[in-house]
Amino acid sequence: MSRLLKIARREYLAYVRTVGFWLSIIALPLVMGISSTAPLMMMKSAKPERLAIIDLTDQAFAPAIAKAMAEDQGRATSRALRAAALSAAGPEAQEAVRKAQLEGGDAAGREALARFNPTAAARFKAPKVDAVVLPPPAQALAAKTPAEAGAIARREVAEKRLDSVLIVSGRDADVTLDLWSRNLAAPVLEGDLRQTVSEIMRERALARAGVSAQTLSEADALKPTFNSLSPKAASGAKVALRDRLPTFVGLAAGFLLWSMVMTGASILLNSVIEEKSSKILEVLLSSASVPEIMGGKILGVAGLTLTVMGVWAMAGWVALINFAPGLAGDLVAVLLGKGLLLYFGVYLVGGYLMYAALFAGVGAFCETQRDAQTLLGPIILVMSIPIIFMSQAIRSPDSPILSTLSWIPPFTPFLMPVRIAGDPPLIQIIGTTVLMIVTTVALVAFSTRAFHVGALATGKIDLKTLVGRIARKQAG
């Protein structure tokens, strides 16, 4: 054990002391943070579209469109305020904000949020306005046809006085929209304007049919009260966010294991190949046993990977506490409840050890990275299979194909954490866990012999030769 820990410590410090290690810790969260927030940052930094509406219908479409766009912005603000309440203080705050909005608008909703979380209420900002409706050019008032209006719109957009110009022509059910825009690929307002005008046409068609504006407003306000219920919910009936969290936490655990295996395995593989080519591995074999060397390397790389994951988890936790404390509390309750932390830990350790031992054994037979790529192809292919099915486990955790795949040990540590929210039968939990542990022990034993044979082998090794040498070693 002393030699194993020394090897693990050496393996760990060899990477921790490098600048590249710390850069990698910073780089991935930074890239992920930028990629996830880039759309939001672009939306916030983008200036609202300067839109003018040239109405040739004599049916007051222009003021109706402007009014509808303002109402859409108000609804977006209301939704954003309720979402902020949910993330900051939980479902109870969200419901209180919703009721306050019905009685006194968004101002009352913000006051309700302040009672639960003053910081979130003060930090809340309404979504950015997509467009500002400006008066049309003076020349447009004289336009009688879409062609005349189009010539004016073309000039205004080309000379950048306006970003978009909408020309509305026709009457009643035969309305034509011509949108001139600076954005050639995807006009920002195209979909919104089409939907807005469609709603206006629908309302006016119903009004012509004798449906009053009040009746139409009351009909649009009709929405069912929808309750999602399940006997598996904590309350025994109504499903809350906390009831759904185990599935998403399990999915995160599966992807975490996959990331750990891919990150740690590549480090472990490179370390073994480097030490074999420089003859350091032969020196280690003269002073320590194969289980000590391989175990120390796996333990050292595991510690290295956990350090990276720990730093990322800490940063994520700090962000969660600051921006969504309600969700943070639910997350803690989910992990500590029903033994999920232990459950995920068993599959995390078992899965990592299974693949790490396999990668270490394969690495001992490789002289170069090209050799490693040849031997690792089948392993990477196997690891890609559970990734394909993991997201489907959210919708159908008990589907026959997932239940079957869960019994295959290389897939077990990825798929079983995602299925936990579906309460799989106890026999599946125990059976898959035992089978995974047995397979892991067998793979460690196999990889230990492979490591010994490969560390002393020279020349190019293909899969057939690899299996033959290990078999002869075992027989000997």
pLDDT tens digit sequence for 194-213: 999 999 998 888 888 888 87
Does some domain include residue 1? Answer: no
Does some domain include residue 382? Answer: yes
359 close to 269: Cβ distance less than 8 angstroms = yes
Same domain membership, residue 322 and residue 470: yes
Same domain membership, residue 386 and residue 469: yes
18 phi-psi bin (left φ>0, alpha ψ -120 to 50, beta other): beta
Same domain membership, residue 248 and residue 133: no
Give the model's pLDDT for residue 149.
92
How do residues 364-421 score in pLDDT, each as one tens digit? 777 777 777 777 777 888 888 888 888 777 778 778 888 899 999 999 999 988 887 6
pTM beyond 0.75: no
Region of poorest pLDDT, from 140-154, 208-222, 327-341, 429-443: 327-341
Element (H, E) at 455: helix 426-456
What lies within 8 Å, CB to CB, of 171 at 6+ separation is: 57, 58, 59
Same domain membership, residue 426 and residue 277: yes
**Dmax of the chain from CA atoms?**
100
Q: How confident is the model at residue 52 (pLDDT cuts 50, 70, 90)?
A: very high
Q: How confident is the model at residue 64 (pLDDT cuts 50, 70, 90)?
A: very high
- Residue of higher predicted confidence among 92 and 80: 80
Q: How confident is the model at residue 472 (pLDDT cuts 50, 70, 90)?
A: low
Give the model's pLDDT for residue 185.
61
Does some domain include residue 27? Answer: no
Same domain membership, residue 422 and residue 348: yes
Structural domain of 84: 48-220
Q: Domains in the chain: how many in total?
A: 2
What lies within 8 Å, CB to CB, of 258 at 6+ separation is: 383, 386, 387, 414
Does some domain include residue 329? Answer: yes
Same domain membership, residue 87 and residue 57: yes
Same domain membership, residue 295 and residue 146: no
Same domain membership, residue 245 and residue 196: no
Average pLDDT rounded to a whole number, residues 150-178: 90
Same domain membership, residue 212 and residue 246: no
Other beta carbons less than 10 A from residue 333's beta carbon: 12
Last residue of a domain, one of 220, 246, 271: 220
Same domain membership, residue 381 and residue 335: yes
- Residue of higher predicted confidence among 242 and 408: 408
Same domain membership, residue 169 and residue 142: yes
Interatomic CA distance for residues 330 and 372, integer angstroms: 43
Kindly report the average pLDDT of the chain as a whole number: 81
Q: Would you call 359 helix, strand, or coil by DSSP?
A: helix
Radius of gyration of the CA atoms of the chain, in A: 31
Average pLDDT rounded to a whole number, residues 252-280: 79
Last residue of a domain, one of 164, 186, 220: 220
Last residue of a domain, one of 190, 220, 250: 220
End-to-end, the C-alpha distance of the chain in Å comes to 26
Nearest residue to 370 (alpha-carbon basis) of 263, 250, 461, 447: 461
pLDDT at 69 over 60: yes
Same domain membership, residue 112 and residue 65: yes
Interatomic CA distance for residues 24 and 18, integer angstroms: 10
Q: How confident is the model at residue 62 (pLDDT cuts 50, 70, 90)?
A: very high
Q: Would you call 407 helix, strand, or coil by DSSP?
A: coil
Q: How confident is the model at residue 38 (pLDDT cuts 50, 70, 90)?
A: low
pLDDT at 226 over 80: no
pLDDT at 467 over 60: no
**Dihedral sign from CA coordinates of 413, 417, 422, 426:** positive
